[in-house]
Amino acid sequence: MSDPLRIALVAEGPTDGVVIESALKSILYERPFVLKQIFPEGSTSFGELGTGWIGVYRWCRQSAKRGNGSLSNDQLAFQNFDLLILHVDADVAGFNYADGSVIPEASDGVLPCNQPCPPPTDSTDALRLVLLSWCGEIQTPVRTVICMPSKSTEAWVVASLFPNDQAMQQGIECHPDAESRLGQQPRANRIRKKRRDYEGRASELVVAWPELVAPGALGEALRFQEEFLEAVATEDAREQNEQA
């Protein structure tokens, strides 16, 4: 493909977008791509949905409604994009819908659905099904990739920027509050959960990504990379068939 890969992102917040874009720069290496975060940033057409996991929930519900019950039939969600990334942190598995003042629909998966950690996959597997239920799906649609860091995107940040942090020795993917470790670093290195701070360290996030997906490292980071590359390959094959 000569044109840049066009990727839409629905995420809990803007800092998640910085981390995910950094990961994609490493995963895609020299392949050009354009990432547009359509939620929460630049998503005024979707109304006042809020942010965080509740905002993602509402976005998914609106998308499914536009698609007559399913995200995969929502032409607006994929308009002008090759792929769609859906991000939710795995700590959402420990919440109730009432925590976000949401009255769930009958088809919504059950929350909470968290399981003991380790292993992280027990909770992420359960939450993936819940996320898909919000989209009116039972399996991940074509051209869609789920990004679900355990237990939060900050686990990826800590692993990237502070690989010697004490939380890494205890298993960062099961740490209940990886964000708290960002401010516990030496003053010269500490970072706040602010977009500007994350953007200032983005190049480090790119360089560190291969370590996150190395054998025995962060399983959910590796799953995201593998599923993303699979989706890219499928989309490339589809376009080649159309051009043949």
Per-residue pLDDT at 94: 98
Long-range contacts of 73-82, Cβ-Cβ distance < 8 Å, separation of 24 or more: 77/8, 78/8, 78/143, 80/6, 81/6, 81/7, 81/8, 81/36, 82/5, 82/6, 82/7, 82/143, 82/235
- For the stretch 48-97, pLDDT in tens is 667 899 999 999 999 999 999 999 999 999 999 999 999 999 999 999 99
Structure tokens at 124: 């992420």
Per-residue pLDDT at 45: 43
Mean pLDDT across the chain: 94
- For the stretch 98-125, pLDDT in tens is 999 999 999 999 999 999 999 999 999 9
- For the stretch 119-149, pLDDT in tens is 999 999 999 999 999 999 999 999 999 999 9
pLDDT-derived band at 46, boundaries 50, 70, 90: very low
Confidence check: pLDDT of 44 > 90? no
Is 212 buried (19+), middle (13-18) or exposed (0-12) by CB count in 10 A? buried
Per-residue pLDDT at 48: 64
pLDDT-derived band at 244, boundaries 50, 70, 90: confident
Detail the DSSP E strand segments found in the chain: 5-10, 33-39, 83-87, 144-147
Confidence check: pLDDT of 42 > 70? no
Domain chopping of the chain, boundaries: 5-243
- The answer to whether 172 and 218 have CB atoms below 8 angstroms apart is yes
Spatial CB neighbours of 99, under 8 Å, sequence gap ≥ 6: none
Q: Which is higher by pLDDT, 199 or 50?
A: 199
Per-residue pLDDT at 117: 97
pTM, two decimals, is 0.95
- For the stretch 217-237, pLDDT in tens is 999 999 999 999 999 999 999
Per-residue pLDDT at 163: 97
Confidence check: pLDDT of 25 > 70? yes
- CA neighbor of 183 nearest in space, from 207, 157, 204, 202: 157
